[in-house]
């Protein structure tokens, strides 16, 4: 607090490499691996390297500058680590409110719940499914992140047994959920070193919860149902108490009141990112599984459906952790894909692996097409080829993730890169002909590509949706 000196934090967009540079040792020693201190400062501002990568800065004589830099680079939303080991999860750490202002860090962690009244079989099955959940998506493996253990029995002994069982069978971080400190403590005793997230401190139990968080060195959720004044007061109180890693829960309404929930999440994030409010500068937790409270007699699918779309809204509106009950693929898949999309760095074009792709059943007479490795371009082309039931090869050129027209204009897609891509793809040993279909938007490269590669170039359609028709009308492997 004292370090703040009454100033609002400098917004991320206002922070320039010069601000960082001025505080560095400025010896250009290259120990960080960069050419000079300015280059390092630029990477630091872009959050590509931590300042700790500058060894001289960590020396005693630069202690003050290091502290100043630490403060200057501190995210508006504190980063909190839950769990231990390689599956430990970082939550929060947000620098900005809107992703286009910079980028979002630490994708929303998805937790699946188990309870202390589920059968052992059910608990183990849910843990297993959560741990094994995996979906391959543009070169990434999308996974689930945490297990939330709830006490529905309010019996310390039952909770202790369940937490023990869960901790023995997963390395995923835990969220221990009970508003009864005695129950929560029993759970903590079963997994004392696992650094779970505790759920939750309320206006009634905050002191006992704070003691538990301090004793077991773990993070603590602050629950203030639809009451941001109370949330802020509790946060202030807990900070004073010495608990530093807090997670905020303003409550999740699934039906009436949902507007308040979105407002609360939005106000918390705005106060932190735009207003520099350190009392609300903590990660948030949303609970889509509240949808199950209103299930009534409806079939399970109804609750799952509601829970799934609530989760999506929370991922978009600033939740750093969500707890779900459904562990079905159809409810989780849209959400883990959405999370990946929202947390993609908008500063970097999304690229796919360059190289040769095969569609349908190919032979030595199959057509050879070309596109760029901008993910959106690639997936559009691939989907058009697939839906047109076309067989053929597609050479994906490394254009550093730039779309065709921009890549041609920006000289990322040139006769040279095209010719090289043909060679490296190995397609020359797969087909007898030497005919390449290039995107219509790269038409002006056709002559040069022919000269450099020795392949005959056919200028394809400007939009990949016309590929099937184009092939039908224009493609013959023999001349």
Partner 1 sequence: MPKNEKKKEFLGLKLSSRLMELLAKLQEVELEDFEMDVGNLEIWIQPGAVAAPMVAQPKVAPPVKVKPTEIIETEFIPPVETYPGKVVEVKLGATRSDGGTRGKPVIVGGETTPAFYTFERPTPHPPVIALDVFDMKVPLPKAVKMHVRDVLEDPAAWAKLAVEKFGADLITLHLISIDPLLKDASPQEAVKTVENVVQAMDVPLVIGGCGDPKKDADMFEAVAETFAGERFLISSITRDMDVERCAKFVNKNGHVALSFTPMDLNLARELNRKLYDFLPKKDIVMDLTTAALGYGLDYAFTNMERARLAALMGDPELAHPMSSGTTNAWAAREAWMKMGSEWEPRELRGPLWEVTTALTLLLAGVDLFMMMHPAAVKTLKDMINQLASGSSGNADALAEWVSMKV
Q: Which is nearer to partner 1, 309 or 452 (CB)?
A: 309
Of 9-17, 322-330, 393-401, 451-459, the window that binds partner 1 (rule: CB under 8 A) is 322-330
Of 206-214, 414-422, 437-445, 450-458, the window that binds partner 1 (rule: CB under 8 A) is 206-214
CA distances from 287 to 254, 273, 318 (A): 9, 23, 13
Binding to partner 1 in span 435-474, by CB under 8 A: 469
Among 38, 65, 88, 228, binds partner 1 (CB under 8 A): 228
Examine residue 99 and tell whether it contacts partner 1 (CB under 8 A): yes
Among 234, 368, 402, 418, binds partner 1 (CB under 8 A): 234
- Cα 54 from Cα 125, distance rounded (Å): 46
Examine residue 219 and tell whether it contacts partner 1 (CB under 8 A): no
Examine residue 330 and tell whether it contacts partner 1 (CB under 8 A): yes
Among 38, 49, 88, 337, binds partner 1 (CB under 8 A): 337
Of 75-83, 175-183, 428-436, 443-451, the window that binds partner 1 (rule: CB under 8 A) is 175-183
Binding-site size for partner 1 (CB under 8 A) equals 94
Among 48, 52, 168, 260, binds partner 1 (CB under 8 A): 260
- Cα 163 from Cα 141, distance rounded (Å): 28
Long-range contacts, 257-264 (Cβ 8 Å, 24+): 257/226, 258/310, 258/313, 260/226, 261/226, 261/286, 262/313, 262/317, 264/226, 264/228
Unique residue bearing structure tokens 């869960």: 166
Which tokens go with 13? 């967009």
**String marking each residue 355-394 x if it binds partner 1 according to CB under 8 A:** --------------------xx--xx--x--x--------
- Cα 396 from Cα 368, distance rounded (Å): 11
Question: 441: which residues sit within 8 A by CB, 6+ positions away?
Answer: 404, 405, 408, 462
**Is the CA virtual torsion 149, 153, 158, 159 positive or negative?**
positive
What minimum distance in Å lies between the beta carbon of 28 and partner 1? 32
Q: Which is nearer to partner 1, 2 or 429 (CB)?
A: 2
Binding to partner 1 in span 413-432, by CB under 8 A: none
Examine residue 62 and tell whether it contacts partner 1 (CB under 8 A): no
What minimum distance in Å lies between the beta carbon of 170 and partner 1? 19
Examine residue 248 and tell whether it contacts partner 1 (CB under 8 A): no
Q: Which is nearer to partner 1, 327 or 415 (CB)?
A: 327
Question: 414: which residues sit within 8 A by CB, 6+ positions away?
Answer: 445, 448
What minimum distance in Å lies between the beta carbon of 282 and partner 1? 14
């Amino acid at each position: 607090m004292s370090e703040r000196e009454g100033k609002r934090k400098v917004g991320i967009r206002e922070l320039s490499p010069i601000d960082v540079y001025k505080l560095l040792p400025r010896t250009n020693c290259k120990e960080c691996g960069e050419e000079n201190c300015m280059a390092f400062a630029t990477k630091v501002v872009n959050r590509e390297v931590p300042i700790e990568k500058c060894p001289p800065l960590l020396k005693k004589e630069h202690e003050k500058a290091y502290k100043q830099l630490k403060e200057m680079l501190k995210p508006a939303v504190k980063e909190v680590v839950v769990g231990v080991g390689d599956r430990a999860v970082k939550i929060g750490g947000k620098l900005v409110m809107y992703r286009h202002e910079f980028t979002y860090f630490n994708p929303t962690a998805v937790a699946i719940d188990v309870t202390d009244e589920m059968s052992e079989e059910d608990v183990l099955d849910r843990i297993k499914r959560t741990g094994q959940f995996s979906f391959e998506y543009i070169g990434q493996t999308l996974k689930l992140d945490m297990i939330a253990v709830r006490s529905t029995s309010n019996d310390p002994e039952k909770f202790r047994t369940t937490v023990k069982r869960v901790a023995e069978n997963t390395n995923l971080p835990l969220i221990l959920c009970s508003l009864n400190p005695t129950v929560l403590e029993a759970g903590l005793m079963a997994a004392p070193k696992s650094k779970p997230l505790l759920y939750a401190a309320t206006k009634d139990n905050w002191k006992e919860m704070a003691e538990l968080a301090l004793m077991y060195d773990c993070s603590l959720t602050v629950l203030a149902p639809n009451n941001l004044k109370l949330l802020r007061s509790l946060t202030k109180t807990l900070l004073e108490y010495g608990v530093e890693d807090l997670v905020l829960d303003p409550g999740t309404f699934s039906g009436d009141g949902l507007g308040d929930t979105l407002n609360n999440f939005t106000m918390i994030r705005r106060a932190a990112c735009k207003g520099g409010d350190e009392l609300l500068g903590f990660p948030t937790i949303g609970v889509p599984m509240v949808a199950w409270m209103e299930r009534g007699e409806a079939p399970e699918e109804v609750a799952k459906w509601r829970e799934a779309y609530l989760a999506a809204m929370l991922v978009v509106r600033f939740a750093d952790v969500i707890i779900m009950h459904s562990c079905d693929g159809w409810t989780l898949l849209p959400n883990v894909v959405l999370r990946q999309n929202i947390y993609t760095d908008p500063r970097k074009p999304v690229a796919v692996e360059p190289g040769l792709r095969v569609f349908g059943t190919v032979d030595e007479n199959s057509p050879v097409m070309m596109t760029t490795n901008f993910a959106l371009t690639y997936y559009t082309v691939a989907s058009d080829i697939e839906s047109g039931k076309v067989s053929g090869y597609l050479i994906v050129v490394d254009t550093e993730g730039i779309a065709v027209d921009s890549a041609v204009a920006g000289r990322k897609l040139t006769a040279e890169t095209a010719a090289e891509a043909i060679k490296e793809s190995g397609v020359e040993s797969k087909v007898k002909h030497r005919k390449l279909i290039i995107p219509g938007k790269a038409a002006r490269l056709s002559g040069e590509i022919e000269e450099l590669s020795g392949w005959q170039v056919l200028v394809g359609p400007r939009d990949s949706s016309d590929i099937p028709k184009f092939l039908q009308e224009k493609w013959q492997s023999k001349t």
